[in-house]
Amino acid sequence: MSAMQRRLILFHFVLCYISYMDFAENSESDAIGSSEAVEENDVPPDYKVTLYNDDYTTKDFVVDVLEQIFHKNESEAVSLMEKVHSSGSAVVGVYTFDIAETRAQLTVEAARKNGFPLRCEAALA
């Protein structure tokens, strides 16, 4: 397990703990009679994962990343790769925060391992 993966796991643990503590505080205040209620139908916000074009990363590598990390079929991967190449960037998926960050990080790690400067970012959709 890489240092980055350990940091992501720790970060995820801290976020879960903070979320739990916020929930526990809200539960206590509800029991006391506070008018603040926890929304049970809250949906986590979506994050978009964007790939950016560069002059060095090969098209084949981008297609491989889209197939392996983002689970796109070949035709979707080629179409997205062409969009990244022609317009400079493209949203390749929309996920919850943890999944978006993990896939963006895996993409950058794979690119660096193969000697490419490919940029991939997760941002609030």
Range(s) of the domain holding residue 87? 47-124
Has residue 98 got a pLDDT over 80? yes
Q: What is the pLDDT of residue 26?
A: 58
Q: What is the pLDDT of residue 35?
A: 46
User: What is the token pair recorded at 58?
Assistant: 């090969």
Contact between 103 and 70 (Cβ < 8 Å): yes
Has residue 7 got a pLDDT over 60? yes
Q: What is the pLDDT of residue 108?
A: 98
51, 100: one domain: yes
19, 78: one domain: no
51, 85: one domain: yes
56, 115: one domain: yes
Contact between 91 and 70 (Cβ < 8 Å): no
34, 55: one domain: no
28, 53: one domain: no
What lies within 8 Å, CB to CB, of 48 at 6+ separation is 91, 93, 94, 100, 122, 123, 124, 125
Has residue 75 got a pLDDT over 60? yes
Has residue 114 got a pLDDT over 90? yes
What average pLDDT does the structure give for the chain?
A: 84
115, 74: one domain: yes
88, 29: one domain: no
53, 70: one domain: yes
| pLDDT tier at 64, thresholds 50, 70, 90 | very high
| pLDDT tier at 17, thresholds 50, 70, 90 | low
36, 58: one domain: no
